[in-house]
Amino acid sequence: MGLFGGDKPDPAVLLAENGGLLREVELLREQLGEKKEEIGAMREQLRWTQDALIAKEAPEAYRDRQDVEAQALLPAPAAEVSAESEKRNQEAEIKRRYLNAMEEPLFNDADDMCAKLMGAVGVPLSESQSLHGNDES
């Protein structure tokens, strides 16, 4: 007498059913692998299609993205190269600030011009500080 009052199933029938189920599981796993490969191929195709669309509609953005991807694939620069790059960047920043200072106006308005030029001519204004830093004379 089996569990719950029923008859015991025949072991040969159980083995046959088990074998059939195992084969079904194997087939399903094979199908799953095929579907995963198919999905991977579809994703690759979709990526190429999107790249083609972006290249057609926005060529500059496409080139920028390609440049970023190419830069990501390059190895990281050595410490010496990055130090030289940092130095060049600092020099470029200093030169940029210098050129901006050269190009901006010398005077804000007429009063500012008079105040700055009168000091150079030697006409004493209401300056209480010494120009040379020696307050004893």
- What's the CA gap between 92 and 9, in Å, rounded? 87
pLDDT score recorded for residue 35: 97
pLDDT score recorded for residue 96: 93
pLDDT, average across residues 41-64: 92
- What's the CA gap between 55 and 62, in Å, rounded? 5
What average pLDDT does the chain have? 84
Does the pLDDT value for residue 127 go beyond 70?
no
pLDDT score recorded for residue 13: 84
At 1, the pLDDT band (50, 70, 90 cuts) reads very low
Does the pLDDT value for residue 3 go beyond 80?
no
Question: Do 29 and 22 form a contact (C-beta atoms < 8 A)?
Answer: no
Contacts of 51 (CB under 8 A, 6+ apart): 62
3-state secondary structure 2-67: CHHHCCCCCHHHHHHHHHHHHHHHHHHHHHHHHHHHHHHHHHHHHHHHHHHHHHHHCHHHHHHHHH
Give the Å distances, CA to CA, from 133 to 11, 35, 115, 130. Answer: 111, 85, 20, 5
Radius of gyration of the chain (CA): 41
| Segment of 11-15, 50-54, 104-108 carrying the highest mean pLDDT | 50-54
Does the pLDDT value for residue 33 go beyond 70?
yes
Residue-wise pLDDT for 57-107, tens only, equals 998 989 998 999 888 888 776 777 788 889 999 999 999 999 988 888 888
